[in-house]
Amino acid sequence: MSVVTIDTVTDVVIAALGKNGPITDRNREILTALIRHIHDFTREVKLQHSEFLYACDFLARAGQLCDDKRQEFILLSDIIGLEVLVDMVSHQGEEGASESTVLGPFYRENPPVLPTGATISQMHFENEETIFFEGYVRDTDGNPVEGVLVDVWEDAPNGLYENRDPNQPDYNLRGRLITDANGYYAFRAVLPVAYPIPDDHTAGELIRAMGHHPMRPSHMHFMLQKDGYHRLISQVFDSRDKYLENDSVFAVKESLIGTYRKADPELGVDLQIAFDFVLSRA
């Protein structure tokens, strides 16, 4: 029997990996690193048993909050910058492609497919600003990419996504476009606003423990997909927003900041913006 002490317990646990059943090389790599880091963390901060029990209860409560409208663990990972780090690690080596950023906890699958230039807004809001959003999708050689499925979603002028607001119609401010032969996409919407991520329950506990704030800068979400290309999940931020340098989930990248301007009269909206994307081949 192995003698377990504060100095040997880590090696004893790691040595048990694969002893009584098959384990893949990748699982061994991940679990070995996880065990080493979490054991070293425990020793470094001298984690107390009461703190350990609080952490277990915290995670249990976070799990109970998860449903099809709120993914608490993604939200928690956003607050500590983990999702944006995973995203950056996952997309290393895609040279020349548009930068990606976090998916966020409010994405919904299968919004309606709309014609080019259609609106994703199904209702009006007080003090809304309407926008025309357009751009081109190209490959890393500069060629247009036809047939890209461009999935877009945003919060409403009240700061809420439709799956968190019972007063909004189903799939409001969500839609999918398909690029034409020139790689062109376009849609109408309302100007997204800065909003607080949910700061109740476990997410709020973590934000307050960090001494941080819950605000996100104004942004439009994008997911671009086509067979033969790497999927791109990204956001386009409003250059005028005061939270650009203090995003609660650390997702802002300089290349993803866009500029709104007063719209041409024939567009029939308040503001317009042009933003292009570059996809890399898979």
pTM for the model: 0.88
Cβ atoms of 175 and 113 closer than 8 Å: yes
pLDDT band at 125 (very low <50, low <70, confident <90, very high): very high
Strand order in the sheet with 174-178: 174-178, 149-153, 219-225, 232-238, 257-258
3-class DSSP state of 78: helix
pLDDT tens per residue, range 91-104: 876 788 999 999 98
Cβ atoms of 151 and 232 closer than 8 Å: no
pLDDT tens per residue, range 238-266: 999 999 999 999 999 999 999 999 999 99
